[in-house]
Chains A and B, each alone.
Chain A
Amino acid sequence: MWSWVAHRVTGVLIFFFLFVHVLDTALVRVSPEAYDEVVATYKTPLVALLEYGLVAAILFHALNGLRVIAVDFWSKGTRYQKQMLWAVVGVWVVLMIGALYPVLGHAAAEVFGS
C-alpha cells in the first residue's frame, strides 16, 4: 500500500521535473550563455540537495517499478512481493549512500570548506 503511494508520488515529481528539464535544455537553441547561466543554478549547494532528492525519487521509482513488473509477470511474484520490497529498500539505501559523494560532494566542499 505505502509502496504504491510512494510510486505515485515519486512518479509525479519526476514527471514535473522532466518538463522543467526539457525546457532548460532547450536553451541550447537560444545561446550558449543562456544555457550556461541556467545550468549554473544546478551547481549551487541548495539545488544539489534537490538533485539528491530527485535521484532518490528516480531510484525508488525504478527499483519498485521492476518489482511491480515481477509481481505482474513472474508466476511467484505475488508470493515474494514483500521480500522484493525489502530488496528494493535495501538496494535503494546502498545506491543512495553511493550517490552521496558524486551528487553532494562539491556542495559539501562549498558549504563547509575543503
Chain B
Amino acid sequence: MSNNTVKTDTAASGIGPVEGDSLYSVDNPAPVIEPPRQRTKKTPRSTRGNFELYAWLFMRLSGVVLVVLVIGHLVVQLVLDGGVQKIGFAFVAGRWASPFWQVWDLLMLWLAMLHGTIGLRTIINDYAERANTRVWLKGLLYTATVFTILLGTLVIFTFDPNIR
C-alpha cells in the first residue's frame, strides 16, 4: 500500500524508482518536447564562421614549428661560431646564398608574425574594454603586421650580396 503511493509519486516527478531504469518503453513513449525555435526556410543562415577555432588551432600548430625554427635560429646566431660577434653583412650574405636558410627564415618570419599577431589580438580583445579602442588597436596591429611581413619577405627575396 505505502509502496504503491511512493511509486506514483516518483512517476509524477519523472524519476523512476530504480536509478538507471527507464520510465518509458515502446508501449509508453516519452513525450516529445518541441524545440523552442524551429529553423525554417526564412531563418537567415548563420554568418559566424569557424575563425576562432582555426586561430586557436593555428597557434598550436605554428607554435610547435616555431619552437624548432626559433631555437635553431638562436643556436646558429648566438651560440655557434663565436655567437653574436660573427654577425655582419658578410655572414648574412653567406647564409642567404643557400635556399635552405632562405626558406627557413621566410617560414620563420611568416609563422612568427602571424602567431604574434593572433596572440596580440587575443590580448587586445581581453583588455581593451571600449569597442572603439579595440577597433583602433587591432587596425594598428594589422597594419604593422602586413607592413613587416611584406618588408621581410621582400628583403629575403631581393637580397643582393653585391650591393656595394
- A residues with a Cβ closer than 8 A to B are 8, 11-12, 14-15, 18-19, 22-23, 25-26, 28-29, 31-33, 35-36, 39, 42-43, 48, 51, 55, 58-59, 62, 65-66, 68-69, 72-73, 99, 102-103, 105-106
Contacts and interface: CB of A to CB of B under 8 A. Distances in A.
B55 interface: no
A100 to B, nearest CB: 11
A19 B64 contact: no
Given A32-B89, A55-B74, A106-B85, A8 B79 contact: no
Given A11-B119, A31-B164, A32-B163, A26 B155 contact: yes
A58 B77 CA distance: 14
Nearest to A63: B67
B109 A11 contact: no
Interface residues of B, number: 37
Contacts of A15: 116-117, 119-120
B113 interface: yes
Contacts, number: 101
B84 A43 contact: yes
A8 B119 CA distance: 8
Given A11-B116, A43-B85, A65-B67, A26 B164 contact: no
B163 A18 contact: no
Given A26-B152, A48-B84, A31 B116 contact: no
B120 A12 contact: yes
A102 B83 contact: yes
Nearest to B145: A19
A106 B74 CA distance: 16
Interface of B: 60, 63-64, 66-67, 70-71, 74, 78-79, 83-85, 87-90, 92, 109, 112-113, 116-117, 119-120, 123, 144, 148, 151-152, 154-155, 158-160, 163-164
A28 B159 contact: yes
Nearest to A39: B87
Contacts of B84: 42-43, 48, 51, 103, 106
Contact of B63 (A8, A69, A99): A69
Nearest to A42: B84
A18 B149 CA distance: 11
A105 B78 CA distance: 11
13 contacts: A12-B120, A18-B112, A22-B109, A23-B148, A29-B155, A29-B159, A29-B160, A32-B88, A48-B84, A66-B63, A68-B60, A102-B78, A106-B85
A102 B158 CA distance: 32
